[in-house]
Amino acid sequence: MATPELKKLFGQRHCDECVLHPLCKPPLVGIEEIERLSGSVLARRPLERDSVLFRAGEPTRSVFISQNGSFKTVAINEAGDEQVIGFYFPGELIGLEGLGDGKFRADAVALELAHVCEVPLPALERVAGQRADFQRQMMRAMGEGMARHQDHLEMLGRKQAQERLAMFLHGLSERQGRLGRDPLQLHLAMSRSDIGSYLSLVIETVSRGLSKMQDEGIIAVKGRHLRVLSPQRLQALAHGDEA
């Protein structure tokens, strides 16, 4: 849907994939509105694996959308230990937490080669002020962000490691599906230790959990490639229906 003009204005390549996100979904913002901020909306160079998109504490001047490539956000507490707070896939807004007090609350790190689109806040606010529908989309995007956090909280609320893992995989699968890809074929862009940090489990427990699911014939794992063999049983596990 990304029209040639839209592509040109937003920067360049890959916006076709970005269509997924409400922000980019036409006819959200007409060309003429985009025009008005074309000076400030700019595309970004590719970010390679492990490179940092923004750091906790930095003033929030923009939010970001990955066009392709996934990210993690990592919070570092005063004790110095890291915790993975979220994973972001193409089309999802990154950095919304920073809108609270104007500073990012976590580091954002590319999990693989990625291309992000940077949206400066002034531009965001300007368009939002002029287009009620766009403003609603922004709210919606933030609401979705909060909803994802809530899902994460519910994951951590489950006491059984196996259930958390199952919820995690199930969630990945869903998101994968929404991206139009095969929901049963997961490429884990993140390391085991990222997963562990995200689920508040040590890496050994993650590993054991995956092995167990594999033994039970629910999934097939090989390194960072994972195939869901029985979505039903995976979901059941996620809901704590069985051991």
* Tokens found for residue 242: 């069985």
**What separation, in Å, do the N-terminal and C-terminal C-alpha atoms of the chain show?**
45
Q: Answer yes or no whether residue 136 interacts with a second copy by CB under 8 A.
A: yes
Binding partner of 193, given a second copy, DNA, none, CB within 5-8 angstroms per partner class:
DNA
* Tokens found for residue 38: 């074309």
Q: Which of residues 76-95 bind a second copy (CB under 8 A)?
A: 77-79, 83, 85
Binding partner of 56, given DNA, a second copy, none, CB within 5-8 angstroms per partner class:
none
Instruction: Give dist(CA 204, CA 193) in Å, integer.
Output: 9
76 bridge partner residues = 82
Instruction: Give dist(CA 70, CA 108) in Å, integer.
Output: 10
Binding partner of 191, given DNA, a second copy, none, CB within 5-8 angstroms per partner class:
DNA
Q: Answer yes or no whether residue 13 interacts with a second copy by CB under 8 A.
A: no
Instruction: Give dist(CA 219, CA 52) in Å, integer.
Output: 32
Residue 155 DSSP class: H
Among 35, 48, 101, 182, binds a second copy (CB under 8 A): 101
- Hey, how many other C-beta atoms are within 10 angstroms of the C-beta on 70? 19
Sole window of 32-40, 143-151, 178-186, 221-229 interacting with DNA (rule: CB under 7 A): 221-229
Residues lying near a second copy in the complex (CB under 8 A) are found at 75, 77-79, 83, 85, 96-101, 105-106, 125, 128-129, 132, 135-136, 138-140, 142-147, 149-150, 152-154, 156-157, 159, 197, 200, 239-241
